Structure 1
Amino acid sequence: MERRNFLRGAVLTGSAAAFGGSLWRGAAHAAPAQPGPGPYGSLRPADSNGIQLPQGFTSRVVARSGRRVSGTSYTWHNAPDGGACYADGGGWIYVSNSEINPGGGASAIRFDSSGTITDAYRVLSGTRQNCAGGATPWNTWLSCEEVDRGYVFETDPWGAKSAVRRDAMGRFKHEATAADPVRRVIYLTEDVSDGCLYRFRPTTWGDLSSGTLEVMTGGSGTSGSIGWATVPDPSAASTATRHQVSAAKHFNGGEGCHYANGICWFTTKGDGRVWQLDAAGNTVELAYDDSLISGSTPLTGVDNVTSASSGDLFVAEDGGNMEICVITPEGVVAPFLRISGQSSSEITGPAFSPDGGRLYFSSQRGTSGSSSGGITYEVRGPFRS
C-alpha cells in the first residue's frame, strides 16, 4: 500500500511569481488547487539514479553522505535537509543543512558556469538538527535548529566568514524563515503541534544581532485580522516562547515559509494547510486545506518548497510517494518527479540555480533509510520560464 494512504495533507506555499495573481490572492474566495495534468507531462520510467522524470529532463548525483564530493576533498554531511542557491560570479553555490543531533551544521557545493563542481566545504559546525531555514536579501543563509530552545545561525555561503548565532531571533523549535524586505522583518515557523508564527524585527535591517521577536495574535478561526505582540523572553528561559503571550495564535506543525508580493505563505503539515498572511493588511486566511479536496491527492507530507521563474511552485514530500510536486498558477497539482526505492526517506532542500535551469534537492536517508545514506541530486531540463 502506498505511503500516501497514511499521510494525507497537501500543503502549498507561494512565490513572487507563482501566487501574486488571481489563484491565491484572496484565496478564501478561490477554488483550492486540484489534481490534474501537469505542465511537464507524465513521468517516465526511473532513470539510472532511480528518479522518474518527465520527457526532456535528466538527473545526476552531486553528493552522497559520508563520501567525498566529486572533484573535491570534502566529505558530504549526513541527513541533508533545507537548502538554497546563491549566484557566484558566472556560477553558483548550493547550501544544504544537516539534520543530525548532535553535529548538525551546513555545507556548500560550488559550481562553475558550466555546472562543474569546483569546491565543497563546511559553512556551519557543532549545532543540532539543522532542518530548514531561509536565504536573506544580503546573501546569507539562516540555518535553523529544529530542537526545543533551538537557535538560528546566520552563515556565509562562501565560507569566508564564521557563522554567527542569532540569539535575538528566539529559542524554540525552529523550522523555516522568510525575509520580508518591505516591512524589514523575518518570518519564522515553529514545528510543534501548538506552534506559532513569529516575525523578527531587526534594529537595523541587514543586521540580525539585535531586534524584537514578535508572535502573531488572533482568534482561533482560519481567517480574519491578526496582530503582533512582543515575546517577553525570546530566550525562553522559563516559559516556551509560544506560551508567553496568551493571545498568540497557534498552528499545527509549522513547516515551509516563503514571502512573495506582500504575502507571507506558510504551511502546517499537522493539518495539511497553507496559510496566507497579508503583511500590509495584517490579515490571515486559509488558502488551502487538504480536507477540501475530494478523493486522493498527488501531494502529501508536505515539507520544503521552492518556486521557478514561471510561477510554478515545487513542493517536496516528507513521506507520500517521495515526489516533488508542481503547483501551477492555474491551480493544478501534479507530480514533477518521483524517487523510487527510497520509501524510508524524505525529499528535502529543493532550490533552483540562479538561471532557473537546474533544480537541486536531497533524499535525506537515501536507499538505506539511515541518515548516513543521504543523496543530493541535480535535475536539468526545460523548466518553464
Structure 2
Amino acid sequence: MSETVPTPPSPTTRRQLLARTGAAGIGIAFSGALSELFTGTAAAGNLGHGGYGPLVPDPDGLLDLPKGFRYRVLSREGDPLRSGEGPVPSNHDGMAAFAGRHGRVHLVRNHENRATGRVPVPVIEGLTYDPEGKGGCTALTLDHRGSVLSERVAIAGTAVNCAGGPTPWDTWLTCEETEDKAGTNGYTKDHGFIFEVDGADPRRTGAVPLTAMGRFQHEAIAVDPKRGVVYETEDAFDRPFGLFYRFLPRKPLGGTGSLRAGGRLQAMRVPGVPDLSSIRETGARFDGIEWVDVPDPLAAGTPIRFQDFGPRGITHAQKLEGCYWGGRSVYFVSSYARSSEGSAGDHYGQIWRYDPDRRRLTLVIVFGPDTDVRLPGESPDNICLAPGGGLMVCEDGGGAQHVYGVTRRGEVYAVARNRQNVGTPEDPEWGEFAGVAFSPDGDTMYVNCYAPGTTFAVTGPWRG
C-alpha cells in the first residue's frame, strides 16, 4: 500500500497538479457488467444519481461526508491502547468487523509496519511471532452503542500486514506483504505468511504462520463459504508481477486449526493469457481456467512467481489487491497496470470475477483516469459489499483520497474524503483509505485512514 506503491507516472501527476491549481472537470471512464458485482437484496441503483449527495466539508478537518452522515474517531495512532500495552501502532490498513455477544462488535485491524515503522505493534508474550517484526494487528471491541470498550494487541512480530480477509468462522486472516527472510532487515524469522487472528480472543489463535498457504507478498484473501477454498492475491512490486492463488485445505471448514492442518497451494493459469493487464474489454470471458500446483510454497530458494510452472507458464498481473466473495464467485482487484513498469497494458483499475463452478474468469469492471482530483475514480484497493448491495471501494491513487461507491448503473459517487493533509499547504498530500467494512447489522461503516493512522465509524442513512 502507501509504503510500497512506486512513484506514479504522468496520469497521477496530472491529478496532483490539478489539486494545486484547483482545475475542475470530470472524466471518469468506467464500464463493466455491474449486475455481477452486487449480491445484496436491495439494488444499489436505488441510490439515484450522485449516491448520497455532495460531501460536506468537515470543520474539524478530518473526514468529509454527505449531509446526514456523521463520524466518530475510534482510535488514532500514538494514543495509548486501552489495554495499557503501549501506543496505538501506525499505518492502519486492512480490517474486518465481527459480531460479538450482547450487540458488541469486534474489529480486527492491520498495521502495515516495516522494519522502520513509525509506531510499532508492541511485543506481547504469547502473541508475538518475531520480536523484530514491527507489524501485526490490534483488536477493538465496541459496545451496542458503538463506544470502544477495549483495544489491545491481537498479534505482534509480523511484518507489513497489508490486507487479509474474514473467514466464515469469524476469524481474520492477516497477510504479510513481504518476502523478507530471517537475517533481512533484522528479522529473526522468515516472513511472507498468513496468520489467523481471533478478534474476540487473540490468545486462542496465537501467532502461528499458516505456512502451507504460501510465502509471498500477500495482499488479500477471500473464502468460498461452501467449499472452504481460500483465494489469495499477490501484490508483487517488480516483474514478473504477482499471481492469483487458491488454497485447498485438508480440513475445509471449521474453527481454529482448520487451516493449520495444511493443504495444497495452486496458482491460476488463464490459457493463452500470460498477463491480465493485456485484457481491456469488459465482459471478456475465459473458460477452462486451470489451477497449477505451486512447486515450492515456502519459496525456500526462489520466489513463487519466478518458479517453473511448466512450458505453458503461469498468468501474472500487476497490483493484485482487494479480494472478496460475493454470491457464488470470488472477485479480485488489480489496482492499476503500467506498461512503463513492465505490464502488457495500461489501466486504472480492474475487477475480475472467477466462477469456480464454471471455471470461468470474467473482466467485469474497468476504471479510468479521473481528471479532477476532487472526484473519485482511479486505483481501487480494499473493497467490500455494502449491506444494500452496493460496492464500497477505498481509493489509493494520487491527489485526494476517497471511499467511493459504485451503483449498478455505473455511477461512481463519493462517500467520504480524507481531509488530513500529511503534505504541506503548497503541496498537499492525503493518506489513502483502507479496511472498509460494515458492522454486522449494516448500520455503521468502519474505515481506516492509513496515515496518520485513524479508525473511523461512520453512521447515517445507509440504504438497504
* TM-score, length basis structure 1: 0.87
| Structure 1 pair 154–380 and aligned structure 2 pair: CA distance change class (3 A) | same
Aligned 8 A contact 1:11 1:269 in 2: no
Displacement, 1:88? 0.6
Aligned 8 A contact 1:11 1:299 in 2: no
| Structure 1 pair 199–265 and aligned structure 2 pair: CA distance change class (3 A) | same
More off after superposition, 194-203 vs 153-162: 153-162
Aligned 8 A contact 1:49 1:61 in 2: no
**Residue aligned with 1:160, SS:** helix
Which position in structure 2 is the counterpart of 1:130? 161
Which position in structure 2 is the counterpart of 1:151? 193
| Structure 1 pair 269–10 and aligned structure 2 pair: CA distance change class (3 A) | farther
* Backbone CA RMSD of aligned residues: 2.9
Which position in structure 2 is the counterpart of 1:214? 266
**Residue aligned with 1:362, SS:** strand
**Alignment gaps of 5+ in structure 2:** 1-13, 20-27, 116-133, 181-191, 280-284, 338-348, 422-428
The alignment status of 1:68 with 2:80, answered yes or no, reads yes
The alignment status of 1:278 with 2:355, answered yes or no, reads yes
Displacement, 1:248? 1.4
Match of 1:358 among 428, 433, 444: 444
The alignment status of 1:45 with 2:57, answered yes or no, reads yes
Provide the rounded CA distance (Å) in 2 between the counterparts of 1:46 and 1:300: 23
Aligned 8 A contact 2:51 2:414 in 1: no
Provide the rounded CA distance (Å) in 2 between the counterparts of 1:290 and 1:333: 10
One-letter identity of the residue aligned with 1:354: P
Aligned 8 A contact 1:152 1:167 in 2: yes
The alignment status of 1:237 with 2:300, answered yes or no, reads yes
Displacement, 1:301? 2.4
One-letter identity of the residue aligned with 1:178: A
The alignment status of 1:322 with 2:322, answered yes or no, reads no
One-letter identity of the residue aligned with 2:365: Y
One-letter identity of the residue aligned with 1:360: Y
Provide the rounded CA distance (Å) in 2 between the counterparts of 1:12 and 1:111: 37
Bigger fraction of residues in strand: 1
How many residues get paired?
Answer: 365
Cα deviation digits, residues 34-76 of structure 1 (max 9, x gap): xx9322111112242521111110012111111124x653531
Displacement, 1:13? 11
* TM-score, length basis structure 2: 0.73
Which position in structure 2 is the counterpart of 1:83? 95
**Residue aligned with 2:417, SS:** strand
One-letter identity of the residue aligned with 2:325: Y
**Residue aligned with 1:97, SS:** strand
Provide the rounded CA distance (Å) in 2 between the counterparts of 1:185 and 1:349: 22
The alignment status of 1:287 with 2:364, answered yes or no, reads yes
**Residue aligned with 1:53, SS:** strand
Describe how 1:84-233 pairs up with structure 2 within 5 A: 84-89=96-101, 90-102=103-115, 103-148=134-179, 150-158=192-200, 159-161=202-204, 162-192=206-236, 194-206=241-253, 207-209=258-260, 210-218=262-270, 219-220=272-273, 222=279, 223-225=285-287, 226-233=289-296
**Alignment gaps of 5+ in structure 1:** 25-32, 367-373
Displacement, 1:283? 1.3
Provide the rounded CA distance (Å) in 2 between the counterparts of 1:304 and 1:146: 14
Aligned 8 A contact 1:175 1:190 in 2: yes
The alignment status of 1:269 with 2:335, answered yes or no, reads yes
Describe how 1:9-28 pairs up with structure 2 within 5 A: 18-19=38-39
One-letter identity of the residue aligned with 1:273: Q
| Structure 1 pair 4–166 and aligned structure 2 pair: CA distance change class (3 A) | farther
Displacement, 1:176? 0.1
> What is the aligned-residue identity percentage?
35
